[in-house]
Structure 1
Amino acid sequence: MSTPGGSIRNSTVSTPIGSKRNSNVSTPGGSRRNSNFEEENSDHIHSERTPDHLLYESEFSGLKRHDSLDIEAAKIGGHHGHHNTKDWGVILRLAFQSIGVVYGDIGTSPLYVYSSTFTKGIKHEDDILGVLSLIFYTITLIPVIKYVTIVLHANDNGDGGTFALYSKLCRYAKIGLIPSEQPEDREVSNFQLELPSKRNTISSKVKNNLEQSGFAKFALLFVAMLGTSMVVGDGILTPSISVLSAVSGLKEATDSMTEGRIVIISVIILIILFMVQRFGTDKVGYGFAPIISVWFSLIAGIGVYNFIKYDPSVAKAINPKYIVDYFKRNGKDGWISLGGVVLAITGTEAMFADLGHFTVKSIQISMGCVVYPAIITAYSGQAAWLRKHSELVGDTFYKSLPSALYWPVFVVAVMAAIIASQAMISGTFSIIKQSLSLGCFPRVQVVHTSAKYEGQVYIPEMNYLLMIGCVLVTASFKTTAKIGNAYGIAVIFAETLTSGFLVVIMLVIWKTNILLVMLYVLVISSTEYLYLSAVFYKFAKGGYLPFTFALVLMFIMCTWNYVYRAKYNYELDHKVSQEAIKDIATDPNISHMGGLAIFYSELAHGIPPIFKHYVNNVPALHSVIVFVSIKSLPVSRVAPEERFLFRRVKPNEMYVFRCVVRYGYTDVRNEKESFEKILIERLKDFIAFDFGTDPQQGRIADEDVVKLDKAWRSGVVHLVGEHEIVSRDGSSLGKRFLINYAYNFMKKNLRQSYSVFDVPHKKLLKVGMTYEL
């Protein structure tokens, strides 16, 4: 079949080759792809000749009922039950737990900040005050004022991170690149936004420009993917620098501990760390809080001790004049040293990215009452010690320890470094899982490691890639100073991307006064760009690493998303018409058999073309047919009672139904009950509701439910499209490379996971099909 947008050729129907694993339906990227639930086959159609776009509008303009199965579905407050809690007992408990999950990275920064800043030694004793002042104001301005005071409030129903910001914008403005909006989606509890009642001309203009500009839509998606890529880069660099800096303390214990041996020990710890990921170490995430609390107590106590013993006058670094003097004395070298100072705020993004497990208040309390005082005290104590021992700046942390505390601090430091690494690795898994729902990442296996804590996942492919990256970085760079050059870029670049999204949200959604937006840009964004310029200076000395990681990941994500959108639009243009469905149902050459057939597709905007292809190859239909499309909404979570949307394809005698199953980007897809059972139960509810309360109609509904039950007992087959994507003749060289080589290489070499719905292998049938795009 040849079409303007592509063609289908060399089609086959295939069954899965023997496998010991249960198989199920998964879309590319492991995601529930966005799709429109077009109602051309529904019972609300007034005219079969109405053009598609008018049909869609005319139907929903007079929509009388909620399309979710449970009309009176209770509103849910957010991603987690504690999101809006006012119970201070719960808030304080969460604040304590957040210490172990969120702050391991920023808490271990005192291990290496001064040594990374003064790479050429300390030339003037007041330079110590200048750097301490820089550290103080940088931590105050970015982690505290930017994140704790502003960014945390940009959460998406309790969830944070770059992806959450992008999803929030997608809900407010039509900036998605897939035509997937549908009126019913806005009735989902978490979909609605709390917006200021005031009108704002600037907000309206920015919103209209975003919606009308194809470039702006691509740019926002690109930034979201770039943010994901930089976080993955963090996932490689955080374990490397944290573990290496902690283990380097062994040099103080014995002279025989050479740099090479420290690297070997660090590599062994890293390999063990990644190997245990498959056992679900996220389950004990909250158990990390006591260890990190001990760590903060130690560094704060040692900071106070050094501050009093060596030079309490470093307190005058609170005067920003020392920053000005520092730059006057050091000029270009002072600007370059900002690449080391920025390491004091590593892990800041985690406060926002890990918000889903806590609350805004709990993060604010833990940061303000524990973390901020502890790290400021630690840096002040180290500065006081350096005023007397400036020649030992390369080993500031361990040299500044009281000798009696060396081994306790060393042990806790290694544990804290492992915890900081664990949190970053888990965050990487989570953000990859989120990108799958956007259709921006190849389909990989996502293993949910905890039945108790939501969002705890393990991705085998990414785990081994991260492990290889960490080992290579640690073995090749060998010192924290060199890794710090790369780490600084990954940290500050991710934060500037968050600021970019935040400015758009302030203008478009919050309708913030333009003067306040300008103040944010001038004070906070300009500071971040100053740091970004400094870390870029060290691009050739290791700064290229995160960009190398990002470049590879961006190529993978952009390629996958490009083919995903092309395939989606192709299916949208070639969906099976209602007339074709009727012809198939009445075709005397097609036999009918008992049982239930469930067709899975990525398209919810009509019947997918693979159905007609299947009938042409296997001219037989089951007594009941259900077309199921999985759709990801730009929300963190969809309540189970709001998840299913059903329509009945006319005429009713065909017993053909269409269903859209909606998920949020953090929803766990593996239900406690089998997806098949839940689907059938919800379909029964829909049939009963669809016929209303009329007794005569009620009897018909009962008969239909009986027929559905009979078909279910007779046997169920789950049909999944197995698409081969190739470029059509005449395509450009670049398009042929992306589709025929890059995309298909990723598709063939990454795990094809069908475990999402726990479909028994014996019930699964794959329908092979080739698309020419």
Structure 2
Amino acid sequence: MENSVMEDPVEKNDTDREVEGVETTLPERTLKERQVSWAKLGRVDSLNMEAGIVSNAGHSHNSTVDWKTTLFLAFQSVGVIYGDIGTSPLYVFSSTFPDKIHNKDDILGVLSLIIYTLMLSPMMKYVCIVLRANDNGNGGTFALYSLICRYAKVSLIPNHQAEDRELSNYRLDTPSNQLRRAQKIKEKLEKSKVAQVMLLLVTILGCSMVIGDGILTPSISVLSAVSGIKQSAKALDQNAVVGISVVILILLFSAEQFGTDKVGYSFAPIIILWFSFIAGIGLYNIFKYDIGILRAFNPKYIVDYFQRNHKHAWVSLGGVVLCITGTEAMFADLGHFSVRSIQISFSCIVFPSLICAYSGQAAYLTKFPDHVADTFYKSIPGPLYWPTFVVAVGASIIASQAMISGAFAIISQSLSLGCFPRVKVVHTSAKYEGQVYIPELNYMIMTASVIVTIAFRTTVQIGNAYGIAVVAVMFITTNLVTLIMLVIWKTSIWWIAMFYLVFGSMEAVYLSSVLSKFVQGGYLPIAFSLVLMTIMGLWHYVHKERYMFELRNKVSSDFMRDLAMNPNINRVPGIGLLYSELVQGIPPIFPHFISNIPSIHSVLVFVSIKSVPISKVAMEERYLFRQVEPRDYRMFRCVVRYGYNDAMEGPEEFEHQLVEHLKEFIRHEHYVLEGAPTETTTAQQLEAGSIMHSGLLKDGKIRGAASSTVHTELSCLQENNSPGVSSGSIHLAPTSRSANSSGCINSRSIQGAEDEIQFIQKAKDYGVVYLLGETEVAAEQNSSLVKKIVVNYMYYFLRRNFRQGEKIMSIPRSRLLRVGMLYEV
């Protein structure tokens, strides 16, 4: 097991002193093990103490639920996840045979390819394997990266803290000594800066491709659905189809502000109806035209197809792969549902419906091969044409909406990684976590999608671009899951080799095929990805350099002592919150504030907003405090931890939560400082002290059956007539407490804590002021020309054209104080 000791790289003083030799406690350890460690300390680290209050409130999405709930989630998942893959029958055959069908046997070969592609990728890879690689019930490229970051220190920003491993959602299993392979890979990842950069770039590339998918899905889905109107309205040409598609796209993006909860979840019946239509029409065509088409389940026809067509067969794979568009959504949208519900919905509804639909179209094409350009609408029986057309348009809109929401989620998660400029993130559902709306991104995607629709006009070229985005994301997922198998799951090397050989080689072949159509539209997602990767990579680079500047220039303990003795520094009533990204020490912006405004609030908190590599952080585990010396100056450091799916509270709620947690910290810290544990400290006293950490005490009140020791100490307090202590209410020190000869807590300790708490409350009543540094970032004079261009121009442009910090945190302008400072990185 590895010892994790928080240590300040530059300064080590009373403010930041860490306890040497204390082993990191893992979540599965019992509370008794934890209290023994505390008992040995002369000075308990306050951050560790706060981290000990674990709520165990975080529950995985994959917890056992009853079948009724699972089936209901399976029904809902159909409306959110499968719109994209469900509308693929609109354009797969036309994209596979862009010219015409030269040999009727090719229809059998292509259908066989479609069947086995659906079996291998969505069914075997995602439903059976990848869904298990979730991060506390959350899926997607970013979730995979976060999971890896928890098990290996591969993040480029050095803000790791031992306390983070105490979070109830962290669920960390250290690789066992028996499986040395996992430990060696982990060590190599942590030591190799190149590997860490490459891992981040691969993650960013996957995120960029998903965003590109969000641009292309609305274009190809809506355009292919609307094109069916030409079957009955002969007077309409392609210009009219494009115009109608553009109108629908604008309306679709305008509705995004209402959120997935209102737009997507109510559409499950429409998608169910869509799958019923395509399955029923497919079965009708199979029995009417050619039931022998079912011979395609024999993979021999795939071999025959390649032997007959050679290079043309390989090129046609770019159309075949469109049958699995939207597969990644099964994993990316896992956070809204559960593994079992998605497995049921795909296996029982989606997969059989798609097999029937493609088989029916193939049977129709054996009789009418000239209709391949518009197979779907041509194969619909006459009476069902208009109902199918209406449902097809509705399904294409739903498919588009799901991928757009996925792009929003990706950007929201990228923000917590420091990989994207600040944008406004609106959480649209209080019931379903992770559903967000980003106004700026919505209009950017809408503009790009409309331009693509007008420029390409048909689904063939859009399909060429679409295939690259789809396969690239799948291939990246395969690589990340393989790494998880090696480091985290510690799977047998033979199973890992089989997984990578089967799925990696299949996706590599498909990727080579779609890349061959680079000039015919395939350049589009690559261009989108390059632009997005440049923005994300550049922003993350400067974000890391800013953090390193603060780490190198943090305030020394001598400065803080001199500040306390300086008579020219005034203390004004109220609470000041000074923001910084630094999780260790005092940021360099603080002395800059003092030099410009020689006054400090009566209570000052250095706040660091930190993103941890988990999806959600329980509220009672979010705030970590430490007091800054000298203690009577009432200055504190606070690390506020958020998961990548957590929404930041409004200023009123944030202030309330921070102050309440600060009061609890003061109460705990005051008892610790009243006196170190003596040799007479009994096991019973330690057990009583640990009750606050075990969760039996909440807000000072006994929550459940307490031990007899608690009742004994309660009686002692009442005998001492301790102020502020009533029957049934008690605040205990964690482990070390000042006690009288009979083992009772000193009443002065309680009174002193309550006085401090009242002081904090009075300061809050005066008002809370937010102190933000208006930091300008510039490259050092001796930097290279490339770095100067990146930092002084490109980063500057992005920063000026996106939102500033106070807008993201919704800080009231009337309570905002800013001071400028230059960071030379």
- TM-score scaled to structure 2, two decimals? 0.86
Aligned to 1:14: none
CA contact (8 A) 1:535 1:543 kept: yes
Matching residue within 78, 103, 106 for 2:59: 78
Aligned to 2:765: 713
Deviation at 1:763, TM superposition (A): 1.0
Matched, 1:726 2:778: yes
Aligned to 1:134: 113
Letter of the structure 2 residue corresponding to residue 236 of structure 1 = I
Aligned to 2:536: 557
Computing the radius of gyration over CA atoms, which structure comes out larger, 1 or 2?
2
Q: Where in structure 2 are the equivalents of 1:228-239 lying within 5 Å?
A: 228-239=207-218
Letter of the structure 1 residue corresponding to residue 514 of structure 2 = V
Aligned to 1:258: 237
Deviation at 1:757, TM superposition (A): 4.2
Aligned to 1:351: 330
Matched, 1:205 2:257: no
Aligned to 1:390: 369
Matched, 1:607 2:586: yes
- Between the aligned partners of 1:654 and 1:195, the Cα distance in structure 2 is 41
Q: Where in structure 2 are the equivalents of 1:473-512 lying within 5 Å?
A: 473-512=452-491
Deviation at 1:535, TM superposition (A): 0.3
Any gaps of 5 or more consecutive residues in structure 2?
25-36, 672-731, 733-744
- Between the aligned partners of 1:57 and 1:249, the Cα distance in structure 2 is 72
CA contact (8 A) 1:282 1:426 kept: no
Letter of the structure 2 residue corresponding to residue 711 of structure 1 = A
**Structure 1 residues 186-217: Cα deviation after superposition (integer angstroms, max 9, x where no partner):** 01011123577672232222112111111000
Deviation at 1:551, TM superposition (A): 0.4
Aligned to 2:573: 594
Deviation at 1:139, TM superposition (A): 0.4
- Between the aligned partners of 1:502 and 1:119, the Cα distance in structure 2 is 35
Deviation at 1:593, TM superposition (A): 2.0
- Between the aligned partners of 1:655 and 1:48, the Cα distance in structure 2 is 15
Matching residue within 173, 183, 187 for 2:166: 187
**Structure 1 residues 610-663: Cα deviation after superposition (integer angstroms, max 9, x where no partner):** 011000111111111111111100001111111110111122111011100101
CA contact (8 A) 1:597 1:716 kept: yes
Is the deviation greater in 270-279 or in 454-463? 270-279
Q: Where in structure 2 are the equivalents of 1:141-220 lying within 5 Å?
A: 141-194=120-173, 199-220=178-199
Is the deviation greater in 228-237 or in 574-583? 574-583
Q: State, as a whole percentage, how many aligned pairs show the same letter.
A: 56
**Structure 1 residues 724-754: Cα deviation after superposition (integer angstroms, max 9, x where no partner):** 1111212211111101110000000113253
Any gaps of 5 or more consecutive residues in structure 1?
1-35
* Number of aligned residues: 730
CA contact (8 A) 2:253 2:442 kept: yes
- Between the aligned partners of 1:435 and 1:642, the Cα distance in structure 2 is 23
CA contact (8 A) 2:475 2:504 kept: yes
- Give the direction of change, closer, same or farther, for the CA distance of 1:198–1:610 in structure 2 (3 Å limit): closer
Letter of the structure 2 residue corresponding to residue 149 of structure 1 = C
CA contact (8 A) 1:601 1:629 kept: yes
Aligned to 2:635: 656
**Structure 1 residues 472-493: Cα deviation after superposition (integer angstroms, max 9, x where no partner):** 1100101101100000000000
Matched position secondary structure for 1:704:
helix
- Between the aligned partners of 1:198 and 1:407, the Cα distance in structure 2 is 64
- Between the aligned partners of 2:18 and 2:260, the Cα distance in structure 1 is 51
- Between the aligned partners of 1:77 and 1:674, the Cα distance in structure 2 is 21
Matched, 1:766 2:747: no
Deviation at 1:274, TM superposition (A): 1.1
Aligned to 1:7: none
**Structure 1 residues 362-386: Cα deviation after superposition (integer angstroms, max 9, x where no partner):** 0000000000000011000101111
Deviation at 1:279, TM superposition (A): 3.2
Matching residue within 64, 67, 73 for 2:48: 67
Matched, 1:744 2:723: no
Q: Where in structure 2 are the equivalents of 1:417-496 lying within 5 Å?
A: 417-496=396-475
Deviation at 1:67, TM superposition (A): 3.4
Letter of the structure 1 residue corresponding to residue 755 of structure 2 = E
- Give the direction of change, closer, same or farther, for the CA distance of 1:745–1:106 in structure 2 (3 Å limit): same
Q: Which has the higher contact order (CA 8 A, sep 6+)?
A: 1
CA contact (8 A) 1:40 1:55 kept: no
Matched position secondary structure for 1:497:
helix
CA contact (8 A) 1:342 1:488 kept: yes
CA contact (8 A) 1:68 1:644 kept: no
- Between the aligned partners of 2:560 and 2:173, the Cα distance in structure 1 is 43
- Between the aligned partners of 2:462 and 2:411, the Cα distance in structure 1 is 24
- Between the aligned partners of 1:467 and 1:576, the Cα distance in structure 2 is 47
- Between the aligned partners of 1:699 and 1:304, the Cα distance in structure 2 is 80
Q: Where in structure 2 are the equivalents of 1:335-346 lying within 5 Å?
A: 335-346=314-325
- Between the aligned partners of 1:128 and 1:257, the Cα distance in structure 2 is 30
Deviation at 1:276, TM superposition (A): 2.1
- Give the direction of change, closer, same or farther, for the CA distance of 1:359–1:198 in structure 2 (3 Å limit): farther
Letter of the structure 2 residue corresponding to residue 73 of structure 1 = V
Deviation at 1:672, TM superposition (A): 9.9
- Give the direction of change, closer, same or farther, for the CA distance of 1:730–1:223 in structure 2 (3 Å limit): same
Letter of the structure 2 residue corresponding to residue 471 of structure 1 = V
CA contact (8 A) 2:616 2:643 kept: yes
- Between the aligned partners of 2:422 and 2:268, the Cα distance in structure 1 is 34
Deviation at 1:766, TM superposition (A): 1.6
**Structure 1 residues 449-492: Cα deviation after superposition (integer angstroms, max 9, x where no partner):** 22222111111111111011101110010110110000000000
Matched position secondary structure for 2:129:
helix
- Give the direction of change, closer, same or farther, for the CA distance of 1:76–1:610 in structure 2 (3 Å limit): same
Is the deviation greater in 749-758 or in 423-432? 749-758
CA contact (8 A) 1:85 1:91 kept: no
- Between the aligned partners of 1:644 and 1:276, the Cα distance in structure 2 is 37
Aligned to 2:685: none
- TM-score scaled to structure 1, two decimals? 0.92
**Structure 1 residues 371-429: Cα deviation after superposition (integer angstroms, max 9, x where no partner):** 00000110001011111000110000000000100100000000000000000000000
CA contact (8 A) 1:104 1:417 kept: yes
CA contact (8 A) 1:724 1:770 kept: yes
Matched position secondary structure for 1:691:
helix
CA contact (8 A) 1:39 1:647 kept: no
Matched, 1:360 2:339: yes
Matching residue within 736, 754, 763 for 1:702: 754
- Between the aligned partners of 2:651 and 2:765, the Cα distance in structure 1 is 21
Deviation at 1:58, TM superposition (A): 5.2
Aligned to 2:677: none
Matched position secondary structure for 1:599:
strand
Matched position secondary structure for 2:639:
strand
